Amino acid sequence: MKISTSHHHHHQGNKFSSFFCNLFGHHYVVSKKVTEHIKEYKCTHCHKEVTTDVSGKLSALTPQMQEINSALEDMYRKRRSRVVHQVA
Ligand SMILES: [Zn+2]
């Protein structure tokens, strides 16, 4: 479901979901594949976003982490396309 209104309502609506997550744990689904080993995840209940960090653990997807991930993704894509070129 898409919510086109402001983000204020969005955060308030998360309170119950967060409570649910505290009880039962988050239900993360992959929202973005950054590299072979690094992915971004989003909780289907509270929409909390996390990402795999360099040590392979999940940590909060801060704007800083998002920047790192997009840089990694860029490097990963370039490296893959270069490998394909070398093979072909
Ligand atoms: Zn959650």
Whole-number Å distance, alpha carbon 41 to ligand 1 midpoint, is 11
Asked if residue 80 belongs to a domain, the reply is: yes
Asked if residue 2 belongs to a domain, the reply is: no
Whole-number Å distance, alpha carbon 26 to ligand 1 midpoint, is 4
Asked if residue 52 belongs to a domain, the reply is: yes
Whole-number Å distance, alpha carbon 12 to ligand 1 midpoint, is 14
Domain that holds residue 37: 7-87
Whole-number Å distance, alpha carbon 74 to ligand 1 midpoint, is 28
Asked if residue 41 belongs to a domain, the reply is: yes
Whole-number Å distance, alpha carbon 55 to ligand 1 midpoint, is 22
How many angstroms separate the CA atoms of 52 and 60, rounded?
9
Asked if residue 64 belongs to a domain, the reply is: yes
Q: What is the pLDDT of residues 64-88, one digit of tens each?
A: 999 999 999 999 999 878 765 555 5
Question: Which pLDDT score, from 0 to 100, does residue 19 have?
Answer: 85
Question: What is the total count of domains within the chain?
Answer: 1
Asked if residue 74 belongs to a domain, the reply is: yes
Q: pTM for the full model?
A: 0.69
Asked if residue 1 belongs to a domain, the reply is: no
Q: What DSSP assignment string belongs to the chain?
A: ----S-HHHHHHHHHHHHHHHHHH---EEEEEE-SSS-EEEEETTT--EEEE-TTS-EEE--HHHHHHHHHHHHHHHHHHHHHHHHH-
